[in-house]
Amino acid sequence: METIFDLQNVSHSYLDKFEALKDINLTMTAGEQITIIGANGSGKSTLLLILDALIYATSGEVYAFGNPVTEERFNALEDNEFARYFRTKVGFVFQNPDVQLFSSTVFDEIAFGPLQLGLPREDVVKRTEEVMAMLALSNIRDRAPHTLSGGERKKVCIGSILSINPDVLLLDEPTGGLDPRTQLWLTELLQDLAKAGKTIITATHDMNIVEQISTRSIVFGEDHTIRADCSSTEVMNDQELLLSANLIHEHQHWHGELLHKHPHPSEGEHHHEQVAHHVR
Amino acid sequence: MIPDWMNRTETEPYHGAASVAKKKSFGKKTIDGALSFFRESLISETFAKRKGLLQSLDPRVKLISMFVLVVGVTFMTSPWVLLVIYLLTLVLAYFSKIEVLWFVKRVWVFIPIFAGVIVIPMLFNVFLAGNVLVPIATLGNGSHLGPIALPSSIYITQQGTIYVVTFILRVAACVSLAILLFLTTKQDLLFKSLRAIRVPKVYVLTISMCYRYIFLLLDTIADLFTARRSRQITSLPTREEQRWVGGRVGYMLVKSLDTSDKVHQAMISRGFDGDVKLMHDNVMHHRDYVAIVTVLACCVILALISRSIISL
Ligand SMILES: Nc1ncnc2c1ncn2[C@@H]1O[C@H](COP(=O)(O)OP(=O)(O)OP(=O)(O)O)[C@@H](O)[C@H]1O
Ligand SMILES: [Mg+2]
């Protein structure tokens, strides 16, 4: 499998003062579904920003698609072939929808990406229409994004990335602020995209979705280092690990896959298995 | 876990009467006004979406025409010619489906700042010698204001008045032209046409960042007020409130600068490289050529009249 991201001894600190990532070593290959989990402030968003070449490692090396990722290579205003290739391949849904919505209508917002990447007009219109239909946004196509509800905004953000059709999707807290039905819809969407062969990297602290949307989990500790990097099932079954990363509280019992077993609807009906609660 | 005082919970129903605020507070009034203007006119592009005269022109033509007119206006010295140009902007506003009274009010909001500070002193003979128009005071010889020696009498001069009126009209005409351009053009089209007339990428990028930054700043201010209102119990006197607003300005600048940085990142992430690409195709129509020729001709003729090179 092709290696997409390769991080070697990467650290990042904001303003040379606030440490956000420490000594990260990672490789991610095409077609993987990975969740990045960790407590608040452990560095998840920072890692995604580095993967999307929006900020750069303060030390260590980052490679994307076999090319080194450095500020000089990306910040040039001149024609920049690798940067353009990278932007078509990688899409990023930000944690805060407000920073991602800057167009004056929903339609323009979703059409922005494909237009920047130089697709022909008809294709842009077609893609935008189809994405809006898929996300049920067609009825608000002419609304200004800042007048939408939190959940609608999030949907528009996701749509604005899907219209680029990137092979690699970076999502930062995609389920934040979504109602349960929309959350379910989103996990199903991510499962479909995974089946289509996309690489999906999601930062989250929603333990309910980890196993549904990923096969591999990377756990960050509060010291901004990687605590564990293994299969999602293993991670979710490791009480000690989740406790030490401050992801769960000791009064909370995590029962791994038993708590929320949730087959995809096409494979059968939803059914939740009842679990007897232990009392410590 | 929670402190003692938090354990007390009032369950008594409310017996008082709700009072009605007599006036909006200083901050809220200012912010609401500014915000609704920007939201209405620029973010929602209410005016740009109307079907009027200026909206129908190619944005490049508008940009160039405005530039030519502004340059022209700075060369004109006759207050009458400037008045004609100012009135012309009102006519343009009318035909572009912008409420003229509203437009006039918006423009004159900006002018006292210039007029008050910069030119009003020029009315008096203290700063600009001239013929008496309105006498103000007779001081007698040898009076001083601090280290400045004052003339024996103070009056408003004829020359000063003409100077001030010309200056204000010039500012009014320029501000009106700029506001017309912004109101009748969608922002992304505007930035695209800046590129089309060969303004370097770096400048366009900077301008569009500033533009976005202003909105974020305003939004941040509004959020701050909302956030404070949710925590505030009694209303503050105006002085206090002004101080509070002042104290927040620095913080807001930093905060919105940070957000504007993130917005820029979000744009870069989706392939933005400083060149604005839009659905809209710039097509020059017949009326665009007519418009640009008319503007150029008008400008030249008015400038010549104003410099008394030709007379009517
Ligand atoms: N712009 C910034 N300036 C300074 N420090 C920052 C900045 N952004 C993040 N940090 C710091 O970097 C660390 C990691 O932040 P990051 O946003 O990556 O955490 P996170 O894991 O995404 O948290 P959350 O779950 O709350 O989103 C935190 O300690 C944070 O305080
Ligand atoms: Mg985060």
In this structure, which amino acid lies at residue A275? Answer: V
In this predicted complex, what is the ipTM? 0.72
In terms of phi and psi (left: phi > 0; alpha: psi -120 to 50; beta: otherwise), the region of B41 is alpha
Most confident of A163-167, B28-32, B101-105, B237-241: A163-167
What does the alpha-carbon distance between residue A50 and residue A44 come to, in Å, rounded to a whole number?
Answer: 10
Long-range contacts, stretch A235-239, CB < 8 angstroms, 24+ apart: A235/A37, A235/A210, A236/A207, A236/A210, A236/A211
Report which ligand 1 atom has the smallest distance to the Cα of A49: 18
Task: Out of A35-49, A122-136, A250-264, pick the least confident.
Answer: A250-264
Question: Please, where are the H alpha helices in A141-199?
Answer: 150-162, 180-195
Whether residue A107 has pLDDT greater than 70: yes
Task: Out of A52-56, B19-23, B116-120, B123-127, pick the least confident.
Answer: B19-23
pTM given for the model: 0.68
DSSP letter for B155, please: E
What does the alpha-carbon distance between residue A243 and residue B149 come to, in Å, rounded to a whole number?
Answer: 81
Tell me: the pLDDT tens digits for A46-102?
A: 999 999 988 899 999 999 988 888 887 777 656 578 888 888 889 999 988 878 887
Task: Assign 3-state DSSP to chain A and report helix, strand, coil percentages, each to 5.
Answer: 40, 25, 40
pLDDT given at position A28: 93
Over residues B221-226, mean pLDDT: 68
Contacts of B279 in chain A (CB under 8 A): 108, 111, 115, 121, 124-125
pLDDT given at position A262: 41
pLDDT given at position B20: 58
Report which ligand 1 atom has the smallest distance to the Cα of A47: 18
Strands A199-204 and A168-172: parallel
What does the alpha-carbon distance between residue B226 and residue B229 come to, in Å, rounded to a whole number?
Answer: 5
Distance A230 CA to ligand 2 centre (A): 21
Q: Quick one: A176 exposed, middle or buried, by C-beta within 10 A (0-12, 13-18, 19+)?
A: middle
Tell me: the pLDDT tens digits for A150-207?
A: 888 889 999 999 998 899 999 999 988 788 888 888 999 999 999 988 999 999 888 8
Q: Is B246 helix (H, G, I), strand (E, B) or coil?
A: helix
What is the radius of gyration, based on Cα positions, of chain A?
19
Residue whose CA is at the smallest distance from ligand 1 atom 29: A41
Q: Which residues line ligand 1 (CB under 6 A)?
A: A 14-15, 18, 20, 38, 40-46, 95, 205
8 A C-beta contact, residue A220 and residue A70: no
| Closest of A12, A3, A4, A5 to residue A225, by C-alpha | A12
| Closest of B66, B94, B277, B37 to residue B185, by C-alpha | B66
Whether residue B311 has pLDDT greater than 70: no
Q: Quick one: B227 exposed, middle or buried, by C-beta within 10 A (0-12, 13-18, 19+)?
A: exposed
What does the alpha-carbon distance between residue A74 and residue A82 come to, in Å, rounded to a whole number?
Answer: 8
What does the alpha-carbon distance between residue A93 and residue B270 come to, in Å, rounded to a whole number?
Answer: 10
Q: Is B63 helix (H, G, I), strand (E, B) or coil?
A: helix
Calculate what percentage of chain A has a pLDDT beyond 90: 32
Q: Could A49 and B272 be called an inter-chain contact, meaning their C-beta atoms sit closer than 8 Å?
A: no
Phi first, then psi, for residue A230 (nearest 5°) are -155, -165
Whether residue B67 has pLDDT greater than 70: yes
pLDDT given at position A277: 46
What does the alpha-carbon distance between residue A235 and residue A233 come to, in Å, rounded to a whole number?
Answer: 5
Report residue B32 as tokens: 């609401």
DSSP letter for A138, please: G
Task: Assign 3-state DSSP to chain B and report helix, strand, coil percentages, each to 5.
Answer: 65, 5, 30
What does the alpha-carbon distance between residue B3 and residue B247 come to, in Å, rounded to a whole number?
Answer: 31
Angle subtended by helix axes B158-184 and B59-75, to nearest 10 = 170
The more confident residue out of A229 and B116 is A229
Whether residue A27 has pLDDT greater than 90: yes
Angle subtended by helix axes A150-162 and A180-195, to nearest 10 = 10
Instruction: Supply the mean pLDDT for chain B.
Output: 75
| pLDDT band, residue A243 (cuts 50/70/90) | confident
Task: Out of A21-25, B19-23, B81-85, B212-216, pick the least confident.
Answer: B19-23
Task: Out of A66-70, B67-71, B275-279, pick the least confident.
Answer: B275-279
Whether residue A216 has pLDDT greater than 90: yes
Calculate what percentage of chain B has a pLDDT beyond 70: 61
Contacts of A54 in chain B (CB under 8 A): 265, 268-269
pLDDT given at position B270: 85
Contacts of B270 in chain A (CB under 8 A): 87, 91, 112-113, 116, 160-161, 164
Whether residue B42 has pLDDT greater than 80: no
pLDDT given at position B117: 67
Whether residue A29 has pLDDT greater than 80: yes
Please state the separation of Cα A49 from the chain's center in Å: 11
| pLDDT band, residue A271 (cuts 50/70/90) | very low
